[in-house]
Amino acid sequence: MTVALVTGGAGFIGSHLVDALLAENISVRVVDNYSTGRPENLAHVSGKVEIIEADIAKSGSWQKSFQGADWVFHLGALADIVPSIQRPEDYFLANVNGTFNVLEAAKHAGVKRFVYAASSSCYGIPDSYPTAETAEIRPQYPYALTKRLGEELVMHWAQVYQLPAVALRLFNVYGPRSRTSGTYGAVFGVFLAQKLAGKPFTVVGDGTQTRDFTYVTDVANAFLTAAQSSARAEIFNVGSGQTISVNRLVELLVGEVTHIPKRPGEPDCTFADISKIRRELKWQPKVNIEKGVEQVLANIDYWKSAPVWTPASIATATQDWFKYLGSDDK
């Protein structure tokens, strides 16, 4: 039986990947410190998964759990923009040092496949859409930079140590179990908590900006497909094949709207060119935005404990965003 180890397996994407692996009768180990993941995300597979609670930023006995693993999926990371601006050291330790520690454990264990969750935030504000893997790298904030540095480590270990590794640059992932922490972050979580509370959706700018919203089960399937492939030292975009406006998202979610100021360092569009992963891995997204939103609304109670953001609380939470990213040359 194939043995897979998932760092960050109690997180949003990680827990869906665990589901996908179990559906293929693959034995699963999870390494997570619950900094962003939640035990509840794996409650439904209790007893079917081995869970090692550990912080990958620090070397330790958790690295022994890589022995005997065939596949490693490295999703463990700190996310979100504003906290990365406020606490860059934490992000560097988790996303760069953590990736180094995971790579070393995988190398010493002689794993057969290594798949890294990279971020499309590395593109910053691209020159062209849809954006291909060959686009210039322009991280705009420490989260994007640390995820990019992690990606560089992965590619270097593939080059120097022949680690059979690939990286997947993920675009705007959404779906059930997305984080409901106290941090102001991804638009879906913000809007869903507002909908539950009967509050207006806080739309940034005029809402015409578009996003490549990619449903989480499609992303989990991309990780599985990458592990089953023979690709090495390759980077692949993972997106939905389309881009929709925030205004269209509001139409699908149904609710009142209030507008808040546009933020520096954010692109007007995210749109993945997925021709490479389609061609080389034969992977295709299956869930369109209408179906995805339907699934999210069917699970909306998941967000009942999430903070309900208002224009005033968002203004306070994003002060450092404007302070550090708001210079004229951005």
Residue 143 appears among annotated catalytic residues? yes
Which member of 116, 123, 143, 184 is catalytic? 143
Rounded Cα gap, residues 165 and 83, in angstroms: 29
DSSP 136: P
Provide the token pair at 276. Answer: 């490479």
Residue entry with tokens 């975009």: 237
6 beta partners = 30, 73
316: tokens are 């306070």
Q: Are 84 and 324 in contact (CB under 8 A)?
A: no
Contact assessment for residue 68 and residue 218, using Cβ atoms and an 8 Å cutoff: no
Residue 23 contacts residue 227 (beta carbons within 8 Å): no
The C-alpha angle 269, 130, 72, rounded to 5 degrees, equals: 95
Residues with a known catalytic role: 143
